Chain A
């Protein structure tokens, strides 16, 4: 932008027959001051933008500096950390065999996968309904409800898990057991946590998928109807394939959200790090471990307080990669119709 003198000032100058040099100088000074003000404001606003970059740098530095001092300890090594199947960080004396992160990743993935099994069909189903079937009025009612569901604090979902879902699972298991099927379950179990995490991420899957479906141009639908397709066929064979990149991006983002979910899984899934695929047993996720140690007030610089940074760095890398992949899918496989 080139700066122009203020219009009022030009007008007043033109009306006075004789320019006197002091007025000209005053005008130059105002112009100069306005320019300086613009430069200062530009710099301040730029600094606001840079805060977010500093945040990223801060996260990376905070996580990895402590992680490096964790791995610098003689009691741990990177190989055992990444491949070990035993996580017993409180056992003394600490030795590398007790710092294998796989049980925590196992617990995290078990919950995330089951929650996706719930959230993906329901989320995509409601997205199809909202974008293809629902009347405008229905959508105006349902969308805010989904927003509210997404805005419920995760502590509340944890409470819901242990007061409603876990007793429900228990009733089912007991009635099965009374018919001679022997199933054991823990009060804190992966399934209960996974169900509430699934409920929690349904709105996310639904809203991102719906956006993608609504972006599919009308002409494609009308073409299919013209060929005699039913509404269901149009939805499944035209709209969903055309919006697939957006839907897959929604899956990945929701999965990443499930992996990073903390309070609900800490409350409902327990704190037993173990390698298991049994959804009825108690597991510990990466996030639940971080909470457990934060609760325990581990002294600064101790192996435990550093271990949460190593676990946190692992969590950060996993979710960061998933977010990048989702972004890539969205860009690379987007179908452009114009």
Chain B
């Protein structure tokens, strides 16, 4: 093959060299096509979704026409003689059997609360674990095991986390169910559902968490925790050792060095990782579905122990309905809202990364 050739400048080698150059150009074009594939696919995907979804979000109504009845609750903007009707019902209505009245209200609120819970749990746990591994952990077998374990967890399919959530948070391994050995041994008086509700300091509480927002938030926390830890570790590792040494030299303790010097410097990187992890959690539906989240919730949750649904699950529900208004139109409109939020979050993450990235 060609690699055995030494540079041969004689005329006899010319056709061979030419062949090799043509091969090279041909493959350069082929490789460029491979690279453009991703770009083109993203474009096709967005156009396809926009085409089916847009009519269910906005209609531009020309003078003399009235708003098409594919949605009922709309806010109209008048620009000159043209009316722009915006389907506000999509945000303020619950799911309905009539496509024109169907909305995402409970899914939006559910997504918002689950995300808040995930952020609340993931930040301290993820950053704490990353600080431990980067700043505190002695280099021994246990530390190596924790690190390896985190990389393995990042590769576990998301649906498996749903089964974990179902067994641990949803049912607490069936510990309090009527036929469990634990209940029988201690003759506990237990509700048939196996879910025990009570008050702590006047606040409602329940155990196990069942199909509640709390169970969903915790399940998603475990799902994204490896991602947050890995990115936070990278951010901490990028902080130069000289900063630490200078602080130690002034007599600061390890925690003072970490909390007052290292973490503030690494914060943009940590936040970028957090946002990316949250956007991952926002798009995931399989684990929540398996954990027991509902796909039809016609009310808003009263507290963290209530049932819930999230955006991707509501969209999945619409995709699986037979009517094309749901399957294509409303699902497309829902996806547009979901993608808009995700793009915004990704945009913020990229901005943070570029704005605060420091080269040491």
Q: Restricting to B12-36, which residues have a CB under 8 Å from any CB of A? A: 20-21, 23-24, 27-28, 30-35
- Return B158 CB to nearest CB of chain A, in Å: 7
24 contacts between A and B (CB under 8 A): A1-B254, A42-B132, A42-B136, A55-B153, A58-B164, A62-B167, A129-B28, A129-B31, A144-B350, A147-B346, A151-B279, A151-B342, A152-B42, A154-B284, A155-B285, A155-B316, A163-B327, A227-B7, A229-B2, A233-B20, A287-B159, A291-B159, A300-B171, A322-B155
Contact check, B42 vs A155: say whether CB atoms are below 8 A apart: no
Contact check, A46 vs B132: say whether CB atoms are below 8 A apart: yes
- Return B163 CB to nearest CB of chain A, in Å: 5
Contacts of A172 in B (CB 8 A): none
Contact check, B279 vs A323: say whether CB atoms are below 8 A apart: no
Contact check, B179 vs A301: say whether CB atoms are below 8 A apart: yes
Contact residue among B42, B49, B194, B255 (Cβ-Cβ distance under 8 Å from A41): B255
Any A CB within 8 A of the CB of B340: no
Contacts of A300 in B (CB 8 A): 171, 174, 177, 194
Bound together, the chains give a CA A124 to CA B38 distance in angstroms of: 12
Any A CB within 8 A of the CB of B267: no
Bound together, the chains give a CA A177 to CA B199 distance in angstroms of: 67
Interface residues of A, Cβ cutoff 8 Å to B: 1, 3-7, 34, 37-38, 41-42, 44-53, 55-56, 58-59, 61-63, 65-66, 121-126, 128-130, 133-134, 142, 144-149, 151-156, 158-160, 162-164, 199, 202-203, 206, 227-233, 235-237, 253, 256-257, 259-263, 267, 287, 290-291, 294-295, 300-301, 308-309, 312, 315-316, 319-320, 322-324, 327
Instruction: Say yes or no: A199-B41 contact (C-beta < 8 A), given A147-B346, A267-B316, A267-B320.
Output: yes
**4 tightest CB-CB pairs across the interface, nearest first?**
A260-B157, A125-B34, A153-B283, A48-B128
Contact check, A48 vs B129: say whether CB atoms are below 8 A apart: yes
- Return A205 CB to nearest CB of chain B, in Å: 11
Q: B314's closest neighbor in chain A, by CB? A: A155
- Return B129 CB to nearest CB of chain A, in Å: 4
Contacts of A233 in B (CB 8 A): 2-3, 20, 24
Contact check, A160 vs B24: say whether CB atoms are below 8 A apart: no
- Return A90 CB to nearest CB of chain B, in Å: 18
Contact check, A51 vs B125: say whether CB atoms are below 8 A apart: yes
Bound together, the chains give a CA A160 to CA B46 distance in angstroms of: 9
Bound together, the chains give a CA A12 to CA B137 distance in angstroms of: 34
Bound together, the chains give a CA A202 to CA B34 distance in angstroms of: 10
Contact check, B149 vs A230: say whether CB atoms are below 8 A apart: no
Q: Restricting to B159-186, which residues have a CB under 8 Å from any CB of A? A: 159-164, 166-168, 171, 173-174, 177, 179
- Return B269 CB to nearest CB of chain A, in Å: 16
Q: B169's closest neighbor in chain A, by CB? A: A58
Contact residue among A61, A125, A291, A324 (Cβ-Cβ distance under 8 Å from B286): A291
Given A50-B146, A126-B31, A260-B156, 16 additional A-B pairs, CB 8 A: A45-B129, A49-B133, A55-B222, A59-B163, A65-B173, A125-B35, A133-B32, A152-B342, A237-B2, A256-B155, A261-B157, A262-B158, A262-B286, A263-B312, A300-B177, A324-B152
Any A CB within 8 A of the CB of B299: no
Contacts of A66 in B (CB 8 A): 167
Contact check, B152 vs A323: say whether CB atoms are below 8 A apart: yes
Contacts of A237 in B (CB 8 A): 2-3
Contacts of A230 in B (CB 8 A): 2, 20-21, 23-24
Contact check, A290 vs B290: say whether CB atoms are below 8 A apart: yes
Instruction: Say yes or no: A51-B225 contact (C-beta < 8 A), given A129-B35, A228-B5.
Output: yes
- Return B119 CB to nearest CB of chain A, in Å: 16
